């Protein structure tokens, strides 16, 4: 079956530091890949996505590139801010036809950014 | 747009009681998902619907859990009887894949934090 593995947290960084959160996946077929973010007390929000190999998703200074050869989708940001403190989830989308469609999530990585 | 609406936001109940969680998806969305989030197991898909029809309920943990979607704008997740291990945050999400099913975004509600004593 499908699975997503992302680096264990928590991750604590100083403001303006570089961020990398690793994500690797196992899937049959050609999944789409996502990063979702969950701020304290809220639901998940889509941060970025990529639909095919070598695609780069980007949003709010965050980037991730779909690497089929390494089955990875690592999240990066060049300079984090305190407002980026949240839990980040890597996910893949698997569509197997006849209306069957679901997301598989990693366990989440908690990021804390300190001033 | 109001987004996905869930109620209640917090629920505290005693073991053995019936619990009903409610969800209103975004208007026009034809997929609805129920998830459970715990520290131990992370985010788990429980069940999802397409056009009000349950498509996959393999994630529903036990017969104590049931979900319905009587119309396009309302769904319930019921636990009867509830147990302490059901304590978690339950999220509802909706999406409207159209022609690009694998690329569409799921929009999450704020969640219901359930505590079973």
The four Cα atoms B52, A34, A59, A111 give a dihedral, to 10 degrees, of 110
Going by pLDDT thresholds of 50, 70 and 90, the confidence category of residue B39 is confident
Check residue A93 and give left, alpha or beta (phi > 0: left; psi -120 to 50: alpha).
Answer: beta
Residue A109 has pLDDT above 70, yes or no: yes
Q: What is the pLDDT of residue A1?
A: 79
For residues B34-38, average pLDDT: 95
Which of A46, A89, A99 is opposite residue B105, by nearest beta carbon? A46
Q: What is the pLDDT of residue A88?
A: 97
Chain A touched by B38 (CB under 8 Å): no
Q: CA A82, CA A84: separation in Å to the nearest integer?
A: 5
Q: CA B21, CA B13: separation in Å to the nearest integer?
A: 12
Q: What is the pLDDT of residue A28?
A: 81
Q: What is the pLDDT of residue B105?
A: 79
**pLDDT tens across A89-106, in order?**
999 987 666 555 678 899
Q: Provide the shortest C-alpha distance from residue A86 to chain B (in Å).
A: 15
Q: What is the pLDDT of residue B1?
A: 63
Between positions 45 and 64 of A, the ones with CB within 8 A of B are 45-46, 49, 51
Going by pLDDT thresholds of 50, 70 and 90, the confidence category of residue B11 is very high
Element (H, E) at A48: strand A44-50
Q: What is the pLDDT of residue A97?
A: 61
For residues B25-32, average pLDDT: 91
Instruction: Locate A77 and state its tokens.
Output: 């940001």
Going by pLDDT thresholds of 50, 70 and 90, the confidence category of residue A81 is very high
Contact A45, A28 (CB under 8 A): no
Alpha carbons within 13 angstroms on the beta-carbon side of residue B16 total 0
Q: What is the pLDDT of residue A42?
A: 87
Check residue A47 and give left, alpha or beta (phi > 0: left; psi -120 to 50: alpha).
Answer: alpha
Chain A touched by B97 (CB under 8 Å): yes
**pLDDT tens across B40-90, in order?**
888 999 999 989 999 889 899 889 999 999 999 999 999 999 999 999 999
Q: What is the pLDDT of residue A2?
A: 85
Is A105 within 8 Å of B31 when comparing Cβ atoms? no
Residue B103 has pLDDT above 60, yes or no: no
**pLDDT tens across A6-54, in order?**
988 899 999 999 999 999 999 887 788 999 999 988 889 999 999 889 9
Instruction: Locate B117 and state its tokens.
Output: 């004593």
């Amino acid at each position: 079956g499908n699975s997503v593995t992302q680096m264990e947290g928590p991750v604590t960084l100083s403001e303006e530091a570089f961020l990398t959160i690793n994500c690797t996946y196992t899937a049959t077929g050609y999944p789409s890949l996502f990063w979702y973010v969950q701020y304290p007390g809220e639901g998940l929000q889509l941060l970025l996505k990529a639909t095919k190999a070598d695609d780069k998703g980007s949003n709010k200074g965050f980037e991730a590139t779909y690497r089929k050869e390494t089955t990875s989708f690592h999240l990066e940001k060049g300079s984090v801010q305190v407002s980026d403190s949240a839990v980040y989830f890597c996910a893949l989308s698997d569509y197997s036809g006849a209306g069957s469609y679901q997301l598989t999530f990693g366990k989440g990585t908690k990021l804390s950014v300190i001033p | 747009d109001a987004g996905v609406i869930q109620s209640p936001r917090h629920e505290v109940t005693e073991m053995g009681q019936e619990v009903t969680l409610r969800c209103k998806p975004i208007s026009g969305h034809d997929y609805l998902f129920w998830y459970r989030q715990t520290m131990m197991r992370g985010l788990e898909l429980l069940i999802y619907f397409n056009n009000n029809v349950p498509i996959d309920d393999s994630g529903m943990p036990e017969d104590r859990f049931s979900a319905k979607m009587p119309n396009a704008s309302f769904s319930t997740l019921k636990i009867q009887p509830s147990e302490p291990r059901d304590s978690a945050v339950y999220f509802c999400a909706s999406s409207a894949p159209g022609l690009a099913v694998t690329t569409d975004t799921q929009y999450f509600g704020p969640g219901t934090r359930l505590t079973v004593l």
